[in-house]
Amino acid sequence: MPNIDEYVPIVGQSIVDDLRLLAERLRGKVVQHVNSTAVGGGVAEILNRMVPLLRELGVDTRWDLIKGGEQFFAVTKKFHNALHGSPEEIGQRDFDVFLATSEQNVREVDIRGDIVFIHDPQPIALVKRRDDNKWIWRCHVDVSNPNRKVWKFLREFIVRYDSAVFSAPSFSQTLPIRQFLITPSIDPLSDKNRELPEEAVAAVFEKYGVPRDKPVITQISRFDRLKDPLGVIAAYAQVKRYNDCRLVLAGGTAADDPEGAQVLREVQERSRRDPDIHVLLLPQNDLEVNALQRGSTIIVQKSLKEGFGLTVSEALWKAKPVVASNVGGIPLQVTHRYSGLLCHSVEGAAFALKQLLTSPDYARKLGENGREHVRNNFLLTRHLRDYMLVFLSLYHEGDIVNL
Ligand code: UDP
């Protein structure tokens, strides 16, 4: 795990000094994060880096997980899709399953934080344990157009928190508690994002049998319908008629996502007859993701819905040209024609991909602009600062927290 001073060459001394000052003010407070999975997906990705750094800064930080069975995670997946606005049949039975597992977690999770930081809907009911400590609900989901029934159900819990944190302005909702808008981040020194020698990149492409004899277009995502892997294949098929290239669809499945295996089967079926499509089921291995992103010509993120979309910042930090859907937090990361290309459809994605394949100089410029945008806005140091300011503000209701 890198030392906080190793961030100085990347973000500058003053940013790191600010972090130390803020951490100093949090001395004596225990911060406790709770979510539902230790690996897979963006939340786990961030906590795996943020928790050790907070500790290194001297903030007493814990990370706990709730437990749940297959039925519980099937329901929370339905909630997730419904919050993203997908039509889902949700009945009383689903709410009952959710409440039963929640009750068990309310009894069993060891709540010790002065500040309890709950991530996403799965552990939301833990707020029943509220005491004289402070509670924050961190929503990573795009709830700009949520299924009303699910939102109403969750809202009963949300209003019992001190504050809520959302990833983008469009996600916030009318609530009687304080709301903060904080975008997620990537860690430039993690195995997922640090510089890699070309041999390490080449070795991963070799391991997975992906030749780099022609441009490689890559999407790295859990096999999830909302990531639209079939749409990526359709866009690639349109591009392929004009520009020879390969497509890599790489991903694993998260422990709290029961739908992944089915989506993977559909993707494999759809790509079976084209040897230039490489469907890779990745183990949890950050260096491999890093190498695949670095070794690709273009990175795609054609999500139908997205919370923030960490993969976009990951690609931009590697100065890769990106084609991504104009959904969720993606337009915060990609300014169309400046730091990547945004699309709204299969045709739009295909058009953008063709443009980048035929204009490598333009593609390079977009990637370079993207890297600077990420440096200024989406690195872990900025994120740490924002969270620590929120923590402090809980003890200064109504005040302005000054450094
Ligand atoms: N990821 C990974 N392996 C995979 C698929 C995804 O490590 O097989 C990582 C990806 O690099 C990113 C995170 O998981 O860091 C996904 O976050 P994102 O916000 O893009 O989407 P989410 O999965 O949270 O919807």
What is residue 402's predicted lDDT score, i.e. its pLDDT?
Answer: 46
Atom of ligand 1 nearest to the CA of 308: 19
What is residue 292's predicted lDDT score, i.e. its pLDDT?
Answer: 98
Atom of ligand 1 nearest to the CA of 40: 14
What is residue 142's predicted lDDT score, i.e. its pLDDT?
Answer: 86
Complete domains list, the chain, with CATH: 4-185+379-402 (3.40.50.2000), 198-377 (3.40.50.2000)
DSSP string, 82-133: HHTT------HHHHHHHHHHHHHHHHHS----SEEEEESSTTGGGGGG--SS
What is residue 391's predicted lDDT score, i.e. its pLDDT?
Answer: 97
222 C-alpha to ligand 1 centroid (Å): 6
250 C-alpha to ligand 1 centroid (Å): 10
Q: Which residue's alpha carbon is at the smallest distance from atom 23 of ligand 1?
A: 41
What is residue 170's predicted lDDT score, i.e. its pLDDT?
Answer: 87
CA distances from 274 to 76, 162, 232, 245, 298 (A): 35, 53, 14, 11, 19
pLDDT per residue over 37-86, tens digit each?
A: 998 778 998 999 899 999 999 999 999 999 999 999 999 999 999 998 88
d(CA 96, CA 102): 10
d(CA 161, CA 155): 10
Of all helices (H) and strands (E), which one includes residue 248? strand 246-251
Give the chain's residues under pLDDT 70.
253-256, 398-403
254 C-alpha to ligand 1 centroid (Å): 9
Question: Could you identify the residue written with the tokens 């706990």?
Answer: 64
Say if residues 177 and 394 touch (Cβ distance below 8 Å): no
CA 264 to chain centre: 20
What is residue 400's predicted lDDT score, i.e. its pLDDT?
Answer: 53
